[in-house]
Amino acid sequence: MGAIAVIGAQWGDEAKGKIVHHLCRRARMCVRFNGGANAGHTVEDARGTARLHLVPCGALYPGCQGVIGHGVTVDPWVLTDELGGILAQGRSHPELLLSERAHLVLPHHRLEEEREGVAERLGTTRRGVGPCYADRAARRGLRLADLADERRVREHLRAARVAGDGFDPEQVVEDLLRFRERFAAHIGDARAAIAGALERGEGVVFEGAQGTLLDLDFGTYPYATSSTTTVHGIGWGTGISTARVERVLGVTKAYTTRVGEGPFPTEERGEIGDRLRTAGREYGATTGRPRRCGWLDLVALRYAHAVNAFTELALTKLDVLSGLREIRVAVGYRIGGQRVTGFPPRAEDLARAEPIYEVLRGWEEDIAGIRDYERLPSAARHFVRFVEAQVGVSVTFIGTGPGEEAIIVRGRR
Ligand code: GDP
């Protein structure tokens, strides 16, 4: 099966979790390369709903190892809780490998996000991920490999003045050492392990967190996340060259959502937005915040394709559009009276963009759970073909409901 990347093509929450989980049935490894506990991937299967923040989705399958690359910020407290939750659902303990080069999210990172008003201003998830990446870039972070050196851990926490923040540094040290003890056998050279799996021809799924439009460089800066969310994050966050990735699957909803602040040209604040939010259950998996909702934006999707060179698309949550008389899709923008087809680099310009819509026919039929493309109403098939033609990429997966079986799988055209 080779290497396949699953990349969010919008502002995150594209239902990547379900697609990754589906692909991992046949994979040996599921690899996270970016973000941290600010991600929230949901998998709904026979054992219930698993909300994962750090554990790679595929690791819920026995036989598929979850690998956390060095580009991921690891919060040991969140990871420990999450594993507890997974075991409580009667699942087996996921097989994990954490990169020794990954940086640790420490209690003061969360506080920093609050104190500096970053969470408020940019609408971040308050998980301390941004401050952890900032420490990494400033070369003052603590990495998983450092946990083997107790003195180093103590000194680090002293220098970070954890005590002044109301944390008991002794307790933090103790927690970290206990974490190290529990995971010692699972902290190692993740890059070499992934390279080995690829050498042996095993299936490796790279699970992107957040989406292209939240990328630190290609996203709507500064309303962005602090990591590389695009396909390029694979090299950045694991050390495996993107040249080794055979399939790049872009995941997009049949409409658009965004959490937190920042420009969103196709946002619908009225009835349509409410309807999409209710039908799509659009509330954040990490924060519970209601998501902003609007129409599908093909300007943004074409841009995401330009950045990632998708080999195929997954179009999720198509069932949410059922019952709408007409469906709008943005095919261009007008900014200050000028028609533009590109995605502007400045958030200020994007905020002024007025979408130019193409209006497509809707469908009445409930399509929930359909697994055969030919059984979709003709208007729904037309919608899919319209997206394919506009972006120039085949849609190979279509989501038709929350459950893991509610998916149409098609070949590439
Ligand atoms: P991720 O972060 O990209 O994995 O997205 P989330 O996990 O936040 O969102 C996925 C949510 O949407 C989960 O509750 C899924 O069960 C649900 N979901 C996934 N695919 C579909 C679909 O095709 N239709 C509907 N209605 N819900 C879906």
For the segment 280-306, the average pLDDT, to the nearest whole number, is: 92
Active site (annotated) includes residue 41: yes
pLDDT at 50: 85
- Whether the pLDDT of residue 165 is over 70: the answer is no
* Strands of 22-152, DSSP E: 29-32, 41-45, 48-52, 65-68, 73-74, 96-99, 103-104
Per-residue pLDDT tens digits for 21-66:
999 999 999 999 999 998 888 878 888 888 899 999 999 998 999 9
β-sheet with 29-32: strand ranges across: 187-188, 96-99, 65-68, 29-32, 204-207, 3-8, 247-253, 312-316, 395-399, 407-409
Cα separation of 375 and 252, whole Å? 21
> For ligand 1, is residue 17 a contact (CB within 6 Å)?
yes
Helix (H, G, I), strand (E, B) or coil at 290: strand
β-bridge partners, 51: 42
Cα separation of 75 and 87, whole Å? 19
Pocket test for ligand 1, best of 11, 13, 18 (most atoms within 8 A of CB): 18
CB atoms within 10 A of CB 82: 19
Residue 193 sits at the vertex; the CA angle it makes with 192 and 197, to the nearest 5 degrees, is 115
Specify the ligand 1 atom closest to the Cα of 43.
16
Q: What is the 16 CA–ligand 1 centroid distance (Å)?
A: 7
pLDDT at 279: 97
Residue 18: phi, psi to the nearest 5? -65, -40
Q: Which domains does the chain have, with CATH numbers?
A: 3-101+185-248 (3.40.440.10), 107-183 (1.10.300.10), 253-409 (3.90.170.10)
> For ligand 1, is residue 399 a contact (CB within 6 Å)?
yes
Q: What is the 20 CA–ligand 1 centroid distance (Å)?
A: 11
Q: What is the 401 CA–ligand 1 centroid distance (Å)?
A: 8
> For ligand 1, is residue 319 a contact (CB within 6 Å)?
yes
Q: What is the 280 CA–ligand 1 centroid distance (Å)?
A: 8
Q: Is the pTM of this model over 0.85?
A: yes
| pLDDT averaged over every residue in the chain | 93
What pairing do the DSSP bridges indicate for beta strands 65-68 and 292-294? unpaired
* Sequential DSSP letters for 150-213: HHHHHHHHHHTTTGGGT--HHHHHHHHHHHHHHHGGGEE-HHHHHHHHHHTT--EEEE--S-GG
- Whether the pLDDT of residue 118 is over 70: the answer is no
Specify the ligand 1 atom closest to the Cα of 316.
23
Cα separation of 368 and 336, whole Å? 41
| Radius of gyration, CA atoms only, the chain | 21
Number of residues that make up the chain: 413
- Residue 164 confidence class, pLDDT cut points 50, 70, 90: low
pLDDT at 38: 86
Active site (annotated) includes residue 13: yes
β-bridge partners, 207: 6, 32
**Closest by CA position to 21, among listed 61, 55, 54, 53:** 61
List C-alpha distances in Å: 29 to 32, 138, 219, 408. Answer: 10, 31, 28, 23
For the segment 326-336, the average pLDDT, to the nearest whole number, is: 97
Cα separation of 205 and 67, whole Å? 10
> For ligand 1, is residue 44 a contact (CB within 6 Å)?
yes
Contact 247, 4 (CB under 8 A): yes
List C-alpha distances in Å: 70 to 53, 55, 190, 282, 357. Answer: 16, 14, 8, 30, 41
Residue the block writes with tokens 């709904």: 44
Contact 10, 304 (CB under 8 A): yes
- Whether the pLDDT of residue 163 is over 70: the answer is no
Q: What is the 338 CA–ligand 1 centroid distance (Å)?
A: 36
> For ligand 1, is residue 142 a contact (CB within 6 Å)?
no
Whose C-alpha lies nearest to ligand 1, atom 17? 402
Q: Which amino acid is at 51?
A: R
**Closest by CA position to 323, among listed 377, 282, 283:** 377
